[in-house]
Amino acid sequence: MTTDTATTNTDTAAEPADSATRSRVALLAIVLGVTALLSVPAGLLWPEPAGGGETYTFADIVGQRDLWWGLLTSLSIIAIISVPLQALATMLLVRRRGSTWATVGGALMWLGITVRGVAVAGWAAAYFFPTDPSLDGGGRAVFEVVNNDITHVFALMIPGALLALVGQVLQAVGLFRAKVVPVWVPWLSLAIVPTFVIPGNGLTGLVTGVPMAAAAAALGYYAWRRYAWRRYA
């Protein structure tokens, strides 16, 4: 006599989830949704350099130094909160097939965004203080010193952004393999790739900013939905 053993998709096998876990995942989803909503308008307000490129002139910053510091510091905080939570949401969803991709990608995202966030906040301060009107001409001289040392300004920012980008791509591969969310979610998350070519500020930044924000919110939603339905991936 033979016995038939029922098989289930290991990526969607049902397991009980306690109320504390569901509450924590719900909080994760809420924070991801809020940070996604905040990131888009903040990116729109980020000043654009008058001469193009990545660096700004004294005249670009002096009239809006408070906006510059506030936006860059806020966006750094949002990124340091949001990106690790996206990585965590993906690792919660991808528990079996594709889990190695998701785990390695998540680690790179945590490391990369932390480094990049610190660098961006430092950049905000490096331009903010020399543009204080009370410094007169001395402030302009310090500003030029900063601008002439781009190596130190971007020494951490670019590697951090690159690590976060590679991590996002690896996590997208994990999501494609696990098939625990609709395919549009990882595809939208890959909008991070052209950010190395397309500026992330102003109206142009919407090309990448909106898809990335939608992907972040979606990851939180699908993680919450799976746990709310008492299912793990």
Q: What are phi and psi of 55, to 5 degrees?
A: -100, 160
Within 13 A of 6's CA, how many CA atoms are on the CB side? 2
What is residue 230's predicted lDDT score, i.e. its pLDDT? Answer: 54
Q: Is the pLDDT of residue 3 over 50?
A: no
The pLDDT value recorded for residue 11 is: 52
Q: What is the pLDDT of residues 154-175, one digit of tens each?
A: 899 999 999 999 999 999 999 9
Domain boundaries, the chain: 19-228
16-29 pLDDT, tens digit per residue, is 557 888 889 999 99
Q: What percent of the chain has pLDDT over 90?
A: 56
